[in-house]
Structure 1
Amino acid sequence: MRPGQQILINGASGGVGTFAVQVGKWLGAEVTAVCRARNVELVTSLGADHVIDYTRDDFTRDAGRYDVVFDLVGNHSLTRLRRALKPGGTVLISGGGVSTGGSLIGPMGLAIRAMLVAPLVRRHRILTVDARPGPENLATLRELAEAGTLVPIIDRTYELGEVPDAIRYVEDEHARAKVVIVV
């Protein structure tokens, strides 16, 4: 990302999405957050410039075009995600989220397809998130947290014995931000 670029974050009110909105703003991007209506105030408070309510609008069918589409949900095909990009733009896929089509491999199917298709695509870049951040990135995140630029948002806390309830809440209730287990 470079200052002034436009990023769309699909799943902006989730555990990773709330951090992505904040990091996007820190990098100087114009951030569009995709979430449901009940989370508009949350993502706006984190710095989102624009919000799309996915229950009313489909960003892959809108006229908006972005330099980066960061997909944390996995509810759109690669073709549809690429439709929301500017020429030369990047789709960034994170494993997790919901399955698109009920495949045996679940939501990882989109990430696997992205890795297979990426070398064949000329007009856009397709990347998957590397889950092993390097020490430099972790140091930057620590500095941002210490400065108050990156603030963790906690939706609910559960005791260790309530883990099944916590998992149900995350899966069924579309938890906002992070759900914490107290040990």
Structure 2
Amino acid sequence: MRAAVQHRYGPPSVLTSSEVGRPLPGRNDVLVQVGAASVHPGDYFVMTGKPYVVRLVFGFRRPRHGIPGRDLAGVVAAVGKDVTALRPGDEVFGWSTAGALAEYACVPADHLVPVPANLSAVDAAAVPTSAMTALQALRDIANVRPGQTVLVTGASGGVGSFAVQIAKAFGAEVTGVCSPRNVDLVRSLGADHVVDYTRTDFTRTEKRYDVILDNVEAQPLAAVRRALTPTGTLIPNSGHGGRWIGPLGRIAKTRLLSGFTRQRLKPFTSVGKRKDLLTLADLLTTGQVTPVIDRTYPLDEAADALRHVAAGHTRGKVVVTI
């Protein structure tokens, strides 16, 4: 089978399109014939091995798994002996531990759910990690309720475009922060207000928000806190940081500060959960959430897809078609 393969950490040029053996599913796995796989900043960090802390998980000297990629959609080709909920021919989407940028991938059965009938494979592949991050941040961390005010920075990006729609589905009054070229897009996602960051600094207005999901973290923490209500919740979520430990230093600082204020400062890491993917499938089926696709690339151009993600100005999601 064809796959995007890397034998060392480095920039996208380390990826090559190669012939490799087709994986065999374990007893609780599903072999998926991949139709599409999305890429996001986390895939870029794993590919480059920076910040270096990622190597503690994915391999110290070289990637433990030579085929990158996590989020996918496709058709079940075979199932392990203990899998009963899925069968060959089922259309599914979900997340793997690695290996999504290939014609076939082995995925734990409990990481997959049926593709909603109104979604293509490209749309479905765009959902798992980014939409689950937005859902867990707004529902589980911030406990967003009807009538609350929610501000989302990076509102046109992968997580941000889902967050705007999910916050609206929860009944919030939503403000999206984005660049001038994305104002119309963010408004079309349901944002009640859109802030063009080249014209307005949201931290210097009189408006205060119950929840801020900061996917960019371009402003100092003290400035962003000024835009919160006295008991509001701030969720930093850029994933960027130093060369060695990435965002961990900033996360530690934020957690320490949270003990001295009534405001809730809550950095977090999303966790893949099948029940949350089912919740997202319901939102997608009813049209309350629609994936935004920036660009698609063929498998042989997976390196270009990751270069585009690394540039940091995607409109929604970047997807590799297989």
Please indicate, yes or no, whether the TM-score normalized by the shorter chain is above 0.5. Answer: yes
Within the alignment, does 1:110 sit opposite 2:250 as a pair? yes
Contact 1:114 1:127 survives alignment (8 Å): yes
1:146 alignment partner, one of 285, 303, 310: 285
Displacement of 1:109 in angstroms is: 4.1
After superposing the two structures, state which structure 1 stretch, 107-116 or 83-92, moved more: 107-116
Which letter does structure 2 place at the counterpart of 1:111? Answer: I
Contact 1:95 1:129 survives alignment (8 Å): no
Instruction: Report the CA distance shift for 1:112/1:180 in structure 2 as closer, same or farther (over 3 A).
Output: farther
1:7 alignment partner, one of 150, 154, 160: 150
Deviations 1:99-147, CA, capped at 9 Å, x for gaps: 5xx66544554334223332x2322001123311444433221110111
Which letter does structure 2 place at the counterpart of 1:65? Answer: R
Which letter does structure 2 place at the counterpart of 1:15? Answer: G
Which letter does structure 2 place at the counterpart of 1:83? Answer: R
- Aligned counterpart, 1:167: 306
Within the alignment, does 1:21 sit opposite 2:170 as a pair? no
Which structure has the larger Rg?
2
After superposing the two structures, state which structure 1 stretch, 55-64 or 168-177, moved more: 168-177
- Aligned counterpart, 2:205: 62
Q: Distance in 2 between matches of 1:52 and 1:132?
A: 30
Q: CA RMSD in A?
A: 1.9
Which letter does structure 1 place at the counterpart of 2:202? Answer: F
Q: Distance in 1 between matches of 2:265 and 2:291?
A: 28
2:229 alignment partner, one of 68, 83, 86: 86
TM-score of the two chains, using structure 2 as the length reference: 0.52
Deviations 1:47-73, CA, capped at 9 Å, x for gaps: 000011112221112221100010111
Report SS of the residue matched to 2:218: coil
Report SS of the residue matched to 2:234: strand
Deviations 1:7-52, CA, capped at 9 Å, x for gaps: 0001100001010000010000000000001001111111000011
Gaps of 5+ in 2: 1-143
Which letter does structure 2 place at the counterpart of 1:164? Answer: A
- Aligned counterpart, 1:35: 178
Which letter does structure 2 place at the counterpart of 1:80? Answer: A
Q: How many residues align?
A: 179
Q: Distance in 2 between matches of 1:44 and 1:76?
A: 23
- Aligned counterpart, 2:295: 156
Displacement of 1:81 in angstroms is: 1.5
TM-score of the two chains, using structure 1 as the length reference: 0.88
- Aligned counterpart, 2:262: 123
After superposing the two structures, state which structure 1 stretch, 144-153 or 157-166, moved more: 157-166
